[in-house]
């Protein structure tokens, strides 16, 4: 077996339980990928052909809306991510996925996932559970943006996701919160 990080099986079990056989099948099909800070895993206009798991490092998803970027997600260690619409529907991505830090990733190609789904109902169950997890997370994020004030959103990040404040630039964080950099600076001064 490959030198798989200990947190990968733990994360898989957290999403959906698998037998040792299904787990080995899934893990052995992963490809190791090392990316540098600033590398793109997916660019707007490309089709997504993989899902990734972050062993170390961080990535972000963002829309390019000149003259600015709009960050929609940040991915840190022990997280699976992809562009689900592009992957599932074989359409061009309307956003980018980029490494914010040098990262060690594990990647499963779309064709390999299809093969695994044919071989194992447990891996199919994992895919379904992960899809539900992604949809729920997106719904929560959309609701969070709509029902909370900018200050409440920032306070929520401080309480529930302090890694965002520690590892994400103020420019990226402000666009994620849906406010200007200046507004975020004022909120930070008031709260601290």
CB atoms within 10 A of CB 148: 15
Q: Which of 18, 50, 19, 17 is nearest to 32 (CA)?
A: 50
Q: Tokens representing 83? A: 């562009």
| 3-state SS class at 192 | coil
Q: What is the DSSP string of 53-116?
A: EEEES-EEEEEEETTEEEEEEEE-TT-EE--HHHHHHT-B-SSEEEESS-EEEEEEEHHHHHHH
Read off the pLDDT of residues 125-151 as tens digits, 9 standing for 90 and up.
Answer: 999 999 999 889 889 988 998 999 999
Q: Which residues of the chain have pLDDT under 50?
A: 1
Q: What is the pLDDT of residue 2?
A: 63
What's the predicted TM-score (pTM) here? 0.91
Q: What is the helix (H) or strand (E) element at residue 16, kind and residue range?
A: none
Residue 40 to residue 99: CA distance in whole angstroms: 6
Question: Which pLDDT score is estimated for 1?
Answer: 47
Domain assignments of the chain as residue spans, ordered by start: 7-122
CATH number of this structure's domain 7-122, picked from the four choices 2.60.120.10, 3.50.50.60, 1.10.3720.10, 3.30.360.10: 2.60.120.10
The C-alpha atoms of residue 149 and residue 31 are separated, in whole angstroms, by 42
CA distances (Å), 84 to each of 89, 115, 119, 135, 173, in order? Answer: 8, 18, 22, 10, 23
């Amino acid at each position: 077996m490959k030198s798989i990080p200990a947190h990968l099986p733990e994360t898989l079990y957290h999403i959906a339980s698998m037998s040792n056989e299904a787990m080995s099948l899934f893990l052995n099909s992963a490809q190791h990928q090392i990316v540098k800070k600033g590398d793109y895993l997916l660019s707007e206009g490309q089709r997504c052909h993989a899902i990734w798991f972050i062993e170390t490092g961080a990535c972000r998803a963002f829309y390019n809306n000149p003259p600015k970027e709009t960050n929609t997600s940040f991915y840190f260690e022990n997280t699976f991510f992809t562009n689900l619409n592009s992957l599932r529907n074989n359409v061009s991505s309307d956003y980018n996925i980029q490494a914010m830090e040098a990262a060690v990733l594990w990647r499963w190609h779309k064709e390999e996932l299809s093969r695994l789904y044919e071989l194992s109902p447990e891996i199919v169950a994992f895919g379904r559970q992960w899809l539900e997890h992604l949809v729920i997370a997106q719904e929560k994020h959309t609701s969070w943006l709509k029902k909370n004030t900018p200050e409440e959103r920032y306070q929520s990040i401080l309480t529930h996701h302090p890694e965002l404040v520690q590892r994400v630039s103020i420019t990226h964080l402000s666009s994620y919160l849906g406010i200007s950099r200046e507004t975020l600076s004022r909120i930070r001064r008031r709260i601290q």
